[in-house]
Amino acid sequence: MSRLAKQPIAIPAKTEVSVSGGMVSVKGPKGTLTRPTHRLVTVAIGTDGVQISSTNFSKEGRSLLGSYASHVRNMVEGVSRGFTKRLSIEGVGFKWDVSGKKLNLSLGFSHPVTLPIPEGLTVTAEKGALMVSGFDKELVGQFAANVRALKKPEPYKGKGIRYEGEVVRRKQGKKAA
């Protein structure tokens, strides 16, 4: 059994958690998130917080326990504080800007790249940094990964889009004769 699932998940002030019809719903100051529960997982709300337990202690039931505990914990944290991912861009002529609900990127291709910003995300672009923030951890992480996948950092000169604080292993390159 997961050690994290044994501990109850604390519910901060101004946050409501409800379970009905196989759906967990978390409502807070930043927004509302819902997620369906699996048939082998039971979510209960007590005085000390949200408790996750398994209805069947099979291998599948035990493996789902920690996953659902993390999902509910991320939902509670997201609607109360929110999540942020920062990306940085490196390279001559590489730039980005936000116009309305679209992210425009110039990445050295023969054409500009445009990405629609999903509903529920806030994207701000500075000169060398892009900040993606929202209350759904999966949505923030997936959009940041989609932006990074457009031009991954290459190992020779280090050009491309990377997460802030990400270390790119550099290669030596060709040697002169």
pLDDT in tens, the chain (177 residues): 678 788 889 999 999 999 998 899 999 999 999 999 999 998 999 888 999 888 888 888 888 888 999 999 999 999 999 999 999 999 888 999 999 999 999 998 999 999 999 999 999 998 889 999 999 999 999 999 999 999 999 999 889 999 999 888 899 888 876
Return the CATH number of 3-80, one of 1.10.3720.10, 3.30.420.40, 3.90.930.12, 3.40.50.1000: 3.90.930.12
Cα separation values, 168 from 48, 141, 145, 163, Å: 43, 19, 16, 10
Closest CA to 123 of 155, 154, 100: 100
C-alpha 103/C-alpha 80 separation (Å) is: 26
pTM of structure: 0.89
**Distance of alpha carbon 31 from alpha carbon 34, whole angstroms:** 10
Check if the beta carbon of residue 65 is closer than 8 Å to that of residue 5: yes
CATH architecture of 83-163: Alpha-Beta Complex (3.90)
Residue type at 113?
A: V
Which residue has tokens 């202690």? 57
CATH 3.90.930.12 positions along the chain are 3-80, 83-163
What DSSP line would sit under 88-101, residue for residue?
A: EEESTT-EEEEETT
- How far apart are the C-alpha atoms of 88 and 84, rounded to whole Å? 13
Structure tokens at 110: 């023969």
